[in-house]
Amino acid sequence: MNWKDDLKRFESDNSTGSAELLEGYIELLLYWLEKGELQTPKDKSFLMDQIKRLQDRHKSLFVFLHFSYRVIQLLNSNGEDWNHMVVDFLNEYRDKWTGVNIRLAMQAGSAIDLKQKLILCHSQSSAVREIFEAYQGNRKKVKIIQTESRPILEGRIQAVNLHKLGYEVKLVSDTGYARHLDRINMILLGADAIFRDYFVNKSGSYNICLAGKNAGIPVYILADSRKFWFSLPPEHQEMQYNESKKPGEEIWKDPHPGIDIENFYFEKIPVDWADGFITEKEILKPSLLRKL
């Protein structure tokens, strides 16, 4: 496989969590750059176009925007040694952000206690997985309800990962958690983008957070600091959530003629429906987000 095809496959990955997806992309880009495969001005132009396509394809994922704006700025410079500059940047970026979820999990440990809890999780999030991986208590006494997360069903991947860590996991449909609401002690979700008034996460999160708020269940959002609007360059900090409709066949492969199938992966949830936003640095209350 050549480097162009290798990098292109990241444009169609819909099931991997955003931080994990970016880590894989950086590792692959470093591999090809250090092999000396990207040398010419034509290579540079292709790489810039490919990153812009990634940016457009994953425009709801702030970790990709945080990364891509910086790389594009670097590629726009006129230096002939551009590939070495990109390698240096990628290594610095990787050193800074590798292990961010471990730091986030340590921060979360001061606010939430998993002991003998029944916890609701949705979709797939490397930050959520790290919370459970860092837990040093008796994992057999912690129970997890995990939603499938349609239409890609990446919740199944998270269910397997959490089960392998030694937890009792019950997989339910995206609305199947309702019958367990009277027993659920906590809701843990990731986030793909956080604005002043709302955050963006996988479709289904809106109803989960609303149900948690109405039932008095604590809702915590786990997200590293790249996922907040203030992490973006100043000229992009006023952007709003925008998503293109996804293929209808993911919901219904052979639909009845004339039916309009609407398929969006993400949705907006009011920040007030969360009890706290846990980052690697601090725990932010929704009221504080509005003042930042």
CATH number at residue 125: 3.40.50.10470
Give residue-wise pLDDT tens across range 24-65.
999 999 999 998 888 888 999 999 999 998 888 888 889 999
Rounded Cα gap, residues 61 and 56, in angstroms: 10
What pTM value is reported for the model?
0.92
Q: Domain check: are 135 and 269 in the same one?
A: yes
Q: Domain check: are 107 and 148 in the same one?
A: yes
In a domain, 84, yes or no: yes
Q: Domain check: are 141 and 119 in the same one?
A: yes
Q: Domain check: are 175 and 206 in the same one?
A: yes
Mean pLDDT, rounded, for 97-110: 94
Domain boundary among 97, 115, 140: 97
Q: Domain check: are 22 and 38 in the same one?
A: yes
What's the pLDDT at 78?
A: 67
What's the pLDDT at 219?
A: 98
What's the pLDDT at 39?
A: 86
Phi, psi of 154 (to 5 degrees): -70, -15
Please report, rounded to a whole number, the percentage of residues in the chain having pLDDT higher than 70: 99
Q: Domain check: are 155 and 273 in the same one?
A: yes
Question: 283 has which bridge partners?
Answer: 278
In a domain, 256, yes or no: no
On average, the pLDDT of the chain sits at: 93
pLDDT band at 1 (very low <50, low <70, confident <90, very high): low
Rounded Cα gap, residues 55 and 53, in angstroms: 5
Q: Domain check: are 280 and 172 in the same one?
A: yes
Domain of residue 63, residue span: 3-97
Q: Is pLDDT above 80 for 279?
A: yes
Mean pLDDT, rounded, for 175-193: 97
Give residue-wise pLDDT tens across range 250-265.
999 999 999 999 999 9
Give residue-wise pLDDT tens across range 125-160.
999 999 999 999 999 999 999 999 999 999 999 999
Mean pLDDT, rounded, for 173-191: 97
In order, the DSSP letters of the chain are --HHHHHHGGGG--SS-HHHHHHHHHHHHHHHHHTT---SHHHHHHHHHHHHHHHHHTTT-HHHHHHHHHHHHHHTS--TTHHHHHHHHHHHHHHHHTTHHHHHHHHHHTT---TT-EEEE-S--HHHHHHHHH--S-GGG-EEEEE--TTTTHHHHHHHHHHHTT-EEEEE-TTGGGGGTTT--EEEEE-SEE-SSEEEEETTHHHHHHHHHHHT--EEEE--GGGBGGGS-GGGTT-----PPPPGGGT-SSPPTT------SEEEEEGGG-SEEE-SS-EE-HHHHTT-
